């Protein structure tokens, strides 16, 4: 009888150990394994990171009881890491680009609400609070904060960083870019340089004439996008370029699109539609890293970082548009 009790006790203990190991192995990160996500979930994309909307993952303001459902405002991809801003929990989440697993959580001060985030080539994180004109940098775990409420950096359009440092782009009839720096003696943020135009992370300056459906980079000739794709009401955002190939995010009557443009031949070489179903529209949701384009898609139940892995042709786009019914452009 005693032997039976010992065997029963041993089996119960072994079962609990197995359950515990399983629990911790499946809950050690806030990301869902990318192998669990089928490629066909998002046509023309593959899933790099899949973050559940939860306390351990990312949440929206409406879920925790205040405001509308504002969520991750920005993300970035540098090297083998993916950085996602989690404003609700006041942190930056860093994931592996290779397997989608969470690497670490980097906390930021609770009183800060971040409107822009960018990461430089060395992995230094830049965060910008447009409400208080506060710049936060995080370098190897060291947090540095500089602010200046007397600055007028509005209306805020976007925040980014390039080889000249962090900068804020202001919208208006004439777009302008303000490069930021810190006065070490006064511990204050100031505008080190002000330039006309919309600067980007690769140092290029983009110019858009939406009413004429034209856009250009630096001093190059303006490219007129075809009317089968755009009209005078479309929105344009330059993402980056590799050689003669430029990447643009364009919003038309049929959704948000990543466009691959050959500036030498003046031809569109590929298009891909960013998936519908966004629960929130981030300020920074498309980046170019290496030769790959990544997008941030915050949905109601999950927040995805996706990589473009195939392109639609112009003919496929036209057929897609025709399948939706009436022509809008």
DSSP code per residue over 241-281: EETTEEEEEEEETTEEEEEEEETTTTEEEEEEEPPS--SS-
Confidence at residue 221, expressed as pLDDT on a 0 to 100 scale: 80
Distance between CA 226 and CA 281 in Å, rounded?
26
Domain ranges of the chain: 116-201
Whole-number percent of the chain with pLDDT over 70:
85
Mean per-residue pLDDT over the chain, rounded = 87
Confidence of residue 67 (pLDDT cuts 50, 70, 90): low
**Beta-bridge partners for 208:** 215
Q: 3-class DSSP state for residue 147?
A: strand
Distance between CA 164 and CA 193 in Å, rounded?
10
Distance between CA 228 and CA 314 in Å, rounded?
9
User: Global pTM?
Assistant: 0.86
Residue range 137-150: mean pLDDT, rounded = 93
* Cis status, amide bond into 155, omega within 30 of 0: yes
Residue 122 in this model has a pLDDT that exceeds 90: yes
Whole-number percent of the chain with pLDDT over 90:
76
Is CATH 1.10.3470 what the domain over 116-201 is classified as, yes or no? no
Residue 222 in this model has a pLDDT that exceeds 70: yes
Confidence at residue 68, expressed as pLDDT on a 0 to 100 scale: 63
């Amino acid at each position: 009888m005693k032997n039976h009790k010992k065997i029963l006790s041993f089996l119960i203990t072994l079962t609990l150990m197995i359950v515990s190991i399983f629990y911790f192995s499946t809950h050690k990160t806030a990301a869902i394994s990318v192998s669990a996500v089928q490629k066909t979930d998002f046509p023309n994309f593959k899933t790099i990171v899949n973050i559940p909307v939860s306390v351990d993952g990312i949440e929206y303001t409406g879920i925790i009881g205040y405001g509308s459902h504002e969520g991750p405002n920005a993300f970035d991809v540098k090297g083998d890491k993916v950085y996602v801003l989690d404003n609700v929990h006041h942190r930056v989440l860093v994931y592996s680009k290779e397997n989608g697993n969470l690497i670490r959580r980097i906390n930021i001060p609770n009183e800060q609400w971040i409107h822009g985030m960018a990461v430089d080539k060395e992995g230094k994180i830049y965060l910008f609070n447009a409400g208080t004109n506060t710049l936060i940098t995080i370098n190897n775990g060291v947090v540095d904060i500089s602010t200046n409420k007397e600055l007028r950096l509005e209306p805020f359009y976007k925040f980014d960083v390039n080889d000249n440092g962090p900068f804020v782009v202001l919208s208006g009839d004439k777009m302008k870019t303000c490069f930021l720096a810190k006065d070490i003696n006064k511990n204050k943020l100031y505008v080190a340089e002000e330039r006309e135009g919309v600067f980007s992370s690769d140092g290029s300056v983009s110019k858009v004439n939406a009413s004429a459906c034209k856009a250009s980079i630096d001093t190059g000739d303006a490219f007129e996008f075809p009317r089968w794709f755009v009209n005078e009401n479309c929105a344009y955002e330059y993402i980056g370029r590799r050689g003669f190939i430029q990447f643009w995010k364009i919003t038309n009557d049929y959704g948000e699109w990543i466009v691959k443009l050959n500036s030498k031949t003046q031809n569109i070489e590929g298009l891909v539609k960013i998936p519908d179903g966004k629960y929130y529209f981030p300020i920074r949701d498309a980046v170019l890293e290496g030769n790959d384009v990544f997008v941030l898609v915050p949905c109601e139940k999950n927040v995805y970082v996706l990589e473009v892995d195939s392109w639609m042709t112009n003919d496929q786009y036209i057929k897609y548009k025709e399948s939706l019914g009436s022509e809008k452009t």
